[in-house]
């Protein structure tokens, strides 16, 4: 198996300049393994340059450059597409860990820490992709999904079924030996998910619910979903997956340093779920959460738990 990236879109991010997509808030295609590929991200193939990239993300999270101010449409389109791509990568990393635990290739103690980081990262990405103003969502994002398909739905995401049980609080038996930071991370995810849905679609009427289309070709839905989010299925190893993750996390942390989570005034009111202390903590600590995700992804096959635990999980327990 190749030890390093095989394509420029998996190269380590630049230390000084924005290089993701060639200019600030550009997009890059995401390469993911086929949905039916098991153990696709197994192995220790995370080169040293990706460990260095995780350190760069940690440094940026402490206070990076603030020169990349974005215009609303370009900024939020970048967040919508790139943030979802990070979710897909996190689902694949979660799936790999779950497979390793099920096959006795990793212990529960080895898996709990990274899984908690990835779930917290997913919660952060839900807030990040849902940070657009109501006008941008209703004038740009929602119509773009409807133009792809009248019934366009997040339920079509090809990789989500493999982590659905975990994210709904029903992990495999080996991960349920008493309360853990993973339980707290999953609980927080549920609150964030409900809050973002309430903020973006306050009437609860999704495109899927509103669409007159009821006979759907399920063999095509995942392909349509991938293509909307600029995602291609091909053979991808762990090094390539982590390299793509590092590039996106670097760009996102630079964006947050420049713009904050909610950079433009919005006349909408945050729903109660997004005003809970642990959700506010997740939003305020998003850059640190993403730095923790980068460190976990660069950790190789040992999957050592984070020594200090999850800061978000601590807030949820407090």
Q: How far is the C-alpha of 12 from the C-alpha of 279, rounded, in Å?
A: 31
Residue 309 has pLDDT above 60, yes or no: no
3-state SS assignment for residue 280 = helix
Residue closest to 118 by CA, chosen among 167, 80, 157? 167
Written as six digits, the tokens of 211 are 């669409």
- pLDDT at position 35 is 94
Average pLDDT over residues 252-264: 93
For the cut 50, the answer to whether the pLDDT of residue 55 exceeds it is: yes
The pLDDT value recorded for residue 178 is 56
Query: In whole angstroms, what is the distance from residue 102 CA to residue 111 CA?
Result: 11
Measured in whole angstroms, how far is the alpha carbon of residue 297 from the centre of its chain?
12
136-172 per-position pLDDT tens digit: 999 999 999 888 888 888 888 999 999 999 999 887 6
pLDDT in tens, 179-205: 589 999 999 999 999 999 999 987 655
Task: Encode pLDDT of 105-119 as tens digits.
Answer: 988 888 999 999 999
Cα–Cα distance measured from residue 298 to residue 48, given in angstroms and rounded to the nearest whole number: 9
Cβ–Cβ under 8 Å, residues 140 and 72: no
Select the highest-mean-pLDDT range: 58-72, 138-152, 239-253: 239-253
Pairing relationship of beta strands 30-32 and 231-233 according to DSSP bridges: parallel
Out of 36-45, 67-76, 168-177, least confident range:
168-177
CA dist 16 and 295 (Å) reads: 20
pLDDT value, residue 201 = 83
Cα angle 154, 72, 294 (rounded to 5 degrees) comes to 60
């Amino acid at each position: 198996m190749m030890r390093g990236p095989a394509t420029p879109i998996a190269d380590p991010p630049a230390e000084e300049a924005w290089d993701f997509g060639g200019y600030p808030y550009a997009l890059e295609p995401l390469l993911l393994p086929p949905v039916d590929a098991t153990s696709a991200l197994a192995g220790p193939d995370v080169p040293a340059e990706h460990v260095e990239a995780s350190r760069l993300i940690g440094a940026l999270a402490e206070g990076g450059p603030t020169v990349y101010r974005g215009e609303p449409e370009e900024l939020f389109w970048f967040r919508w597409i790139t943030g979802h791509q990070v979710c897909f990568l996190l689902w694949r990393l979660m799936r790999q860990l779950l497979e390793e635990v099920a096959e006795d290739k990793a212990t529960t103690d080895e898996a709990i820490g990274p899984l908690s980081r990835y779930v917290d990262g997913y919660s952060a990405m839900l807030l990040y992709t849902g940070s657009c103003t109501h006008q941008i969502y209703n004038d740009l994002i929602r119509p773009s999904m409807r133009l792809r398909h009248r019934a366009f739905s997040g339920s079509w995401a090809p990789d989500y079924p493999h982590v659905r049980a975990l994210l709904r609080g029903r992990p495999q038996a080996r991960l349920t030996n008493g309360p853990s930071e993973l339980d707290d991370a999953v609980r927080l995810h549920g609150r964030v998910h409900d809050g973002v849905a309430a903020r973006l679609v306050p009437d609860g009427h999704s495109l899927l619910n509103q669409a007159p289309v009821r006979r759907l070709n399920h063999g095509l839905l995942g392909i349509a979903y991938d293509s909307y989010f600029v995602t291609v299925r091909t053979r991808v190893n762990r090094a390539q997956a982590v390299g793509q993750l590092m590039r996106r996390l670097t760009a996102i942390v630079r964006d947050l340093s420049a713009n904050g989570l909610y950079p433009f005034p919005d006349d909408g009111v945050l729903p109660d779920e997004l005003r809970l202390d642990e959700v506010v903590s997740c939003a305020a600590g998003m850059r640190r959460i993403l730095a923790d995700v980068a460190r976990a992804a660069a950790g190789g096959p040992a999957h050592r738990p984070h020594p200090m635990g999850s800061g978000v999980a601590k807030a949820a327990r407090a």
